[in-house]
Amino acid sequence: MITTPALKISDLTKDFGGLRAVDSISFEVREGEFVGLIGPNGCGKTTTFNCISGLLEMASGKVEVLGQDATGLRPDQIQNLGLTRTFQHTWLWRDMTVIENLLVPPRRQFAPNLLLALLRPGSRKMEKQRVSEAYSVLDLLEVSHIAHNLASELSGGQSKLVDIGRALMSSPNLLLLDEPVAGVAGPLAERIFQNLRSLTTDRRIGMLVIEHNMDFILRRDVDRIIVMDAGRILMAGTPDEIRHNRGVIEAYLGSSNQPQG
């Protein structure tokens, strides 16, 4: 059965003045697929994310989110199509608790003013449902014990998990994560990736994850990896195919640093 890709990128190009940061790249992410996007600093990974999510205007190309043309839309319009993204550096509301941070993102929960919100039929029931969902997300990410901590009190790893939880509260069908384990200690980084893998499997979320540490992601349970170099796609394939590709090894890992197994 042919299904509509969660994300389809066609000939995406982005220039900054005379510099071509992303050079006519094309790829897809399917529903329930966990895909890594790797490459050295400056190769165009985050610029690609910014173009997909509407933060940057493309020079040319097309972005489709869940079968709908998202080219040229504002970030909030793209989010309403079902796409949510995170950033490499977390931007939590530091003076709010963890649970309060999670209760902000759900879509279409606000009325034009507070009085209308209070009078809207079922508003209290919907609020209780959102609170319940927020606690469920924290349970899923194994951080329910910090639900009432201020975001300013969290460690770097906890902030990453809360940021992912906040993204999940918008009920995404497509999730873009920019280095979700950057600066996170090894055991916690492992758990984060295990939880992300579970989300793609259980909730059928299409997931595209930027990871700078190539050796790390090659050993994770991702379905495919896209390798970027100088704004172009060097190769796309399974972790095993990437691991044994001589061009990738020479470009990124060095012939003497080839991953084992």
Collapsing DSSP to helix, strand or coil, 224 comes out as strand
Picking from 208, 165, 171, the residue whose alpha carbon sits closest to that of residue 36 is 208
Structure tokens belonging to residue 261: 């197994």
Domain boundaries, the chain: 7-92+171-257
CA–CA gap between residue 180 and residue 199 (Å, rounded):
14
Q: Indicate the length of the chain as a whole number.
A: 261
Answer for the pair 260, 72: CB distance below 8 angstroms, yes or no.
no
Q: 17: exposed, middle or buried (C-beta count within 10 Å: 0-12, 13-18, 19+)?
A: exposed
User: For the residues of 118-151, what is the DSSP string, one character each?
Assistant: HHSTTHHHHHHHHHHHHHHHHHHTT-GGGTTSBG
- Dump pLDDT digits (tens) for 123-149: 667 778 888 889 988 988 888 999 999
CA–CA gap between residue 249 and residue 43 (Å, rounded):
16
CA–CA gap between residue 119 and residue 9 (Å, rounded):
43
Query: What end-to-end distance do the CA atoms of the chain give, in Å?
Result: 34
Vertex 14 angle, CA 243 and 17, to 5°: 125
**7-92+171-257: what fold?**
Rossmann fold (3.40.50)
**In the predicted model, what is the mean pLDDT of residues 175-194?**
82
CA–CA gap between residue 84 and residue 217 (Å, rounded):
21
CA–CA gap between residue 261 and residue 256 (Å, rounded):
15
- Dump pLDDT digits (tens) for 22-57: 999 999 999 999 999 988 788 899 999 999 999 999
- Dump pLDDT digits (tens) for 65-114: 999 999 999 998 999 899 999 988 888 889 999 999 998 876 555 544 55
Hey, what amino acid is at 123? S
Does residue 257 surpass a pLDDT of 50? no
**C-alpha 94: how far from chain center:** 21
Please state the pTM of the whole predicted model: 0.83
